[in-house]
């Protein structure tokens, strides 16, 4: 299953006091389908509001454009005052890849947005971070030097011509900085002390900027030939940190910004703090996440701690997340609710009604006098059962005494099986959704030639969706064969019958899905496309028909028959 592309946008607007204006800006963001407003954080002293929203790339770009346009209408930079550095009505607008999209792809979207803002809104735009047009223009602070008041003079310097938009000073709106950067995690680690100085010692140990180097004899700061203070770098690249005391919690914390998760991720920062704290006579007593976090960061942490425990990594996402929460102590100072703190979960707009049912409810829903869920949905569920049984054998084998040498092999296979489970479970609902799309298309009006043409086009589009969904079931269920073959050969012999039942379930899933492909292909008018689907289905089924008895024979031999 293809992971949907999600990017986050965190524009900073130069208005933090007039709630009516702030609400107008956020309102236009919410008008764009496919975008979800996640957080609005106005600051009175800074006179600045940070807005967070996310969604599909095109939708996010549209929403960002509307917000920048609205801010330019409402905010007059000529009268703006605030403590935070700024240079425009929309001061900065970063795009952040969340899932299913690379930084390189995100940069392309940032440039599309920047070009559109410059061309249509006539606002000078500078690119920064990963989208920067030159290395010296990468750092936001460098671009912002001189702020709004120095912008007119700065833009006369050829080195600081805007990347897009007019090269002349715009008094009302100023200029905007647009770019792409990694997700920043604000994360605090709790210490069993009230000492800010001790918390700072830990911060100095782990933050990338480290601490100033002092002469061991004189205690004076050491400097290089140019007079700059020499620093001893900390252990965590991409981490900024300070120590502070939180009276509300009655403890000191190491407060961190994790700016590059490829270099230092959540659990690595936690472990670095824990090691430093122990070396200084303290203990870490938990941690606190500020704001949102990407799903993959929580899953990475869960896998890390499971691996330390010598357990298989082939478990559901929910177990990985719970392992991360418990191991990092994320409930220590306040309850941690994954549905409210993981960005992908907050973005879930479409419910999956079938896989949310219990077994009895699903059976009764299938048995009801409605055509959906039907055979396609049931086939996907059979496939998920097949994957789950193969995964179970892998997990049991990974933990079995005497199988230690193959622990990593079984853990890796269990992870593959878990991915197959998730993919097939998603198809349980996808099949019903595909059927509903056909019914929706059939209900379209057909009173005029144009309406008939649109209706016919919609029916054909929905039919292809109704074919591709069981086609995906066939593909994923067939992948279960390889997992189950390996478990029959190398897995825990006490569970080999479970592998056999998994094989039967996966094969039945393929057979049922094949029937669904064939019945829906009948309604497809594109003959070449029809043959393509049929040939592909027959090829998969031929392979399955050959391999099913071979693998079942391995199962029976392992049983002793």
Catalytically active residues are 84, 431
d(CA 248, CA 511): 61
Given a contact cutoff of 8 angstroms between Cβ atoms, the answer to whether 30 and 22 are in contact is no
544: tokens are: 């399955």
State residue 188 phi and psi, 5-degree precision: -120, 135
Half-sphere exposure of 77 (CA within 13 A, CB side): 26
Distance of CA 299 to the CA centre of its chain: 10
DSSP for 48-91, written as a single string: EEEEEEEE-HHHHHHHHHHHHHHHHHH--GGG---SS---BSEE
State residue 157 phi and psi, 5-degree precision: -75, 120
Beta-carbon contacts of 488 under 8 Å, excluding residues fewer than 6 positions away, are 496, 499, 500, 551, 554, 555, 558
**Nearest CA to 357 among 289, 258, 417, 432?**
432
**Nearest CA to 39 among 24, 54, 28?**
54
d(CA 239, CA 69): 34
Q: SS3 breakdown of the chain: % helix, strand, coil, rounded to 5?
A: 55, 15, 30
25: tokens are: 């800006």
Residue in the structure block whose two tokens are 């208005």: 15
**Nearest CA to 205 among 148, 269, 143, 120?**
269
> Strands 90-99 and 176-180, how do they pair?
parallel
Ramachandran sector of residue 544 (left: φ over 0; alpha: ψ -120 to 50; beta: rest): alpha
d(CA 60, CA 95): 9
Residue in the structure block whose two tokens are 């939180």: 246
């Amino acid at each position: 299953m293809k992971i949907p592309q999600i990017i986050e946008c965190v524009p900073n607007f130069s208005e933090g006091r007039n709630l009516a204006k702030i609400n107008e800006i956020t309102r236009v963001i919410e008008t764009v389908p496919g975008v979800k407003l996640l957080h609005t954080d106005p600051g009175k002293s800074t006179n600045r509001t940070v807005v967070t929203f996310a969604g599909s790339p095109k939708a996010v770009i549209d929403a960002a454009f509307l917000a920048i346009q609205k801010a330019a209408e409402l905010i007059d930079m000529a009268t703006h005052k605030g403590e935070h550095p700024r240079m425009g009505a929309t001061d900065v607008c970063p795009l952040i890849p969340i899932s299913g999209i690379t930084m390189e792809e995100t940069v392309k979207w940032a440039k599309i947005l920047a070009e559109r803002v410059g061309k249509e809104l006539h606002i000078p735009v500078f690119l920064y971070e990963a989208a920067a047009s030159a290395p010296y223009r990468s750092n936001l602070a460098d671009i912002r030097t001189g702020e709004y008041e120095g912008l007119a003079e700065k833009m006369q310097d050829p080195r600081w011509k805007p990347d897009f938009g007019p090269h002349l000073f715009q008094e009302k709106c100023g200029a905007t900085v647009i770019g792409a950067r990694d997700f920043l995690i604000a994360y605090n680690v709790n210490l069993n002390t009230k000492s800010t100085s001790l918390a700072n010692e830990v911060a100095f140990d782990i933050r990338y900027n480290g601490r100033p180097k002092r002469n061991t004899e004189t205690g004076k700061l050491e400097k290089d030939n140019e007079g700059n203070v020499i620093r001893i770098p900390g252990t965590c690249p991409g981490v900024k940190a300070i120590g502070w005391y939180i009276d509300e919690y009655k403890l000191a914390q190491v407060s961190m910004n994790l700016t590059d998760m490829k270099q230092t991720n959540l659990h690595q920062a936690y472990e670095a703090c824990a090691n430093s704290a122990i070396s200084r006579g303290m203990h870490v007593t938990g941690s606190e996440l500020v704001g949102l976090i990407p799903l993959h960061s929580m899953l990475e942490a869960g896998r890390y701690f499971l691996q330390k425990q010598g357990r298989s990594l082939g478990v559901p996402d929910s177990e990985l997340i719970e392992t991360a929460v418990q191991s990092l102590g994320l409930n220590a100072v306040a309850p941690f609710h994954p549905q409210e703190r993981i960005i992908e979960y907050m973005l879930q707009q479409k419910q999956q009604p079938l896989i949310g049912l219990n077994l009895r409810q699903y059976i009764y829903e299938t048995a009801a006098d409605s055509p959906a869920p039907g055979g396609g949905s049931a086939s996907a569920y059979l496939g998920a059962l097949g994957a789950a049984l193969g995964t179970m054998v892998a997990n049991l084998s990974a933990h079995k005494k005497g199988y230690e040498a193959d622990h990593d092999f079984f853990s890796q296979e269990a992870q593959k099986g878990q991915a197959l489970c998730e993919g097939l479970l998603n198809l349980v609902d996808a099949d019903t959704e595909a059927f509903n799309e056909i019914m929706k298309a059939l209900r379209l009006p057909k009173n005029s030639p144009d309406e008939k043409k649109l209706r016919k086009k919609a029916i054909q589009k929905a039919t292809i969706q109704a074919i591709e969904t069981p086609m995906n079931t066939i593909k994923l269920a067939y992948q279960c064969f390889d997992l189950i073959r390996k478990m029959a050969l190398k897995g825990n012999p006490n569970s080999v019958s479970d592998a056999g039942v998994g094989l039967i379930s996966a094969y039945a899933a393929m057979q049922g899905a094949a029937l669904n492909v064939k019945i829906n292909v009948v309604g497809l008018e594109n003959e070449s496309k029809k043959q393509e689907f049929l040939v592909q289905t027959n090829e998969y089924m031929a392979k399955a028909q050959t391999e099913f008895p071979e693998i079942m024979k391995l199962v029976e031999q392992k049983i002793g028959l």
